[in-house]
């Protein structure tokens, strides 16, 4: 049971390590890109 818990913790750590920065990148850059896109449509 201990090995299973350690495996789960390791899996979640790996998951957040990979997808954490990706989600952060999307949240930061997606509004910026959409704002630029709307500006291009207007002008």
Tokens of 7: 């495996």
Spell out the domain ranges in the chain.
1-43
Check residue 27 and give its pLDDT.
Answer: 86
DSSP E strand stretches across 1-43: none
Distance between CA atoms of residues 24 and 21, nearest Å: 5
| Backbone conformation region of residue 7, classed left if phi is above 0, alpha if psi is from -120 to 50, else beta | alpha
* Model confidence band, residue 9 (pLDDT cutoffs 50, 70, 90): very high
Give the global pTM. Answer: 0.45
């Amino acid at each position: 049971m201990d090995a299973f818990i350690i495996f789960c913790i390791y899996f979640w750590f790996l998951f957040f390590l990979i997808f954490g920065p990706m989600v952060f990148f999307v949240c930061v850059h997606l509004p910026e890109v959409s704002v630029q896109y709307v500006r291009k449509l207007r002008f």
